[in-house]
């Protein structure tokens, strides 16, 4: 299984960035995974939401041409960690070139990007910052891989 995680911009919060790196290292011990940080829109007022999402969507789009695409969205389906592990196992057995997770910026994802998704995933009914949700996604991917491989997850 090859995993790719794509989102606009770098994580600026150093504490969250450090934990992201921690989980990415743990994931890469089990499966190949890369994070791609695309262009983030800056200097445009939030009132131009459509324009911001379009610019960020154009940067994300070039990574959405192959494999299975999972977009993070508040409209997505929620799963338990075990259900998520079974879901990833099922996808990986179909042998896509990549499983690509796509996260949005602070305003979310452009509708055009959401329509490219094979699946919409919600990590919670609660609202989290886009930087924190990145960390939550990485932790859940790692947890799912340990479940899939029958490994003990340190609690």
Could you read off the pLDDT of 70-99 as tens digits, one per residue?
A: 999 999 999 999 999 999 999 998 877 889
Q: How confident is the model at residue 49 (pLDDT cuts 50, 70, 90)?
A: confident
Gyration radius of the chain's alpha carbons: 15
Is pLDDT at 28 greater than 90 in this prediction? Answer: yes
Is residue 50 packed enough to be buried (19+ CB in 10 Å), middle (13-18) or exposed (0-12)?
exposed
Tell me, which fold does domain 2-148 have in CATH?
Alpha/beta knot (3.40.1280)
pLDDT at 42: 78
Instruction: Compute the mean pLDDT over every residue in the chain, rounded to the nearest whole number.
Output: 92
Match 């949700």 to its residue by tokens.
133
Q: What is the distance between the alpha carbons of residues 114 and 118, in angstroms, rounded to a whole number? A: 9
Residue partners of 122: CB distance under 8 A and separation at least 6? 72, 73, 74, 75, 76, 77, 78
How many C-beta neighbours within 10 Å does residue 155 have? 3
Closest CA to 154 of 141, 82, 146: 146
Mean pLDDT (whole number) for 136-152: 95
8 A C-beta contact, residue 60 and residue 8: yes
């Amino acid at each position: 299984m090859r995993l790719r995680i794509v989102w606009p911009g770098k994580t600026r919060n150093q504490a969250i960035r450090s934990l992201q790196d921690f989980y990415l290292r743990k994931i890469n011990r089990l499966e190949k995974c890369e994070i791609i940080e695309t262009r983030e829109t800056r200097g445009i007022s939030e009132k131009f939401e459509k324009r911001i999402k379009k610019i960020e969507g154009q940067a994300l789009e070039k990574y959405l041409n192959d494999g299975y695409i999972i977009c993070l969205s508040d409209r997505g389906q929620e799963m338990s960690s075990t259900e998520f592990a079974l879901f990833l196992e099922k996808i990986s057995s179909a042998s896509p070139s990549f499983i690509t997770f796509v996260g949005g910026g602070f305003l979310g994802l452009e509708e055009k990007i959401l329509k490219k998704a094979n699946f919409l995933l919600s990590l919670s009914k609660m609202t989290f910052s886009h930087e924190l949700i990145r960390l939550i996604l990485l932790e859940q991917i790692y947890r799912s891989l340990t479940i899939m491989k029958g490994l003990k997850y340190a609690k």
